[in-house]
Amino acid sequence: MFSFFSRFHDALFAFFRKSEGWLPGLTARFVFAAVLFTYFFNSAKTKVGELPKGFFELQDNAFFQIIPTVVERFGYDASQVPVFPYQIIVYAGTYLEFLLPVLILIGLFTRMAAVGMIVFVVVQSVVDITAHAVGPETVGAFFDKASNSTILDQRAMWVFLLLYLVVYGAGKLSIDYLVSRKRPIRVSTRTNND
């Protein structure tokens, strides 16, 4: 009886075993595109001038969103915010918010881009909680009866999706895979005595 269930299991999941190299990474990137790409792209668009011409014109809104307490210290005048480190942080944050999702979408430097996006989600959450002072219902709590809080519940799922890409990569249907196949594999000639 056990062998019947074992054969049934093997037959049923044979496709998934064969697709391990390409399906999970592609699916993770597809879900990222469907759920988070537009969210981050639209967020980044609020920080620059009218696209495409205004792409390199950072708006005051970028400072208000990324470093609100710092801008407050300078009388809400973004032009008074010091270049180092604050303006550098705002410029890097704004343009990485455009770049990192694109890298994940096309599967190029996917692991590094996913780490960057995890940092984005964590920083965004900390800023929302500390600087924008969102309420406890928005922050939520793990292991409570509600699973719809914006910060802990929703963003934990985002981080899990991105963490999958960090650990397993974009899969065989990605630029990362194509590039890795063209790179020669280095074989160590060192021995244990070296």
Q: List pLDDT tens digits, range 70-93.
A: 999 999 999 999 999 999 999 999
pLDDT at residue 119 above 80?
yes
Question: What token pair was written down for 140?
Answer: 């939520």
Question: If pLDDT is split at 50, 70 and 90, which confidence band does 147 have?
Answer: confident
Per-residue pLDDT, 188: 63
Which residues, at least 6 apart from 170, have a Cβ–Cβ distance to it below 8 Å? 25, 26, 28, 29, 104, 107, 110, 176, 177
Read off the amino acid at residue 63: F
Nearest to 163 by CA among 106, 119, 125: 119
Sign of the Cα torsion 108, 109, 111, 114 reads negative
Per-residue pLDDT, 51: 92
Which residues, at least 6 apart from 22, have a Cβ–Cβ distance to it below 8 Å? 171, 172, 173
Tokens 């999970």 locate to: 24
Contact status, residue 162 vs residue 120, Cβ threshold 8 Å: no
Residues in the chain: 194
Contact status, residue 101 vs residue 36, Cβ threshold 8 Å: yes
Per-residue pLDDT, 50: 94
Helices 23-32/155-168 angle, 10° precision: 140
pLDDT at residue 68 above 90?
yes
Question: If pLDDT is split at 50, 70 and 90, which confidence band does 97 have?
Answer: very high
Q: What percent of the chain has pLDDT over 70?
A: 94
Task: Give the separation between CA 125 and CA 72, rounded to whole angstroms.
Answer: 19
pLDDT at residue 192 above 70?
no
Whole-model pTM: value is: 0.86
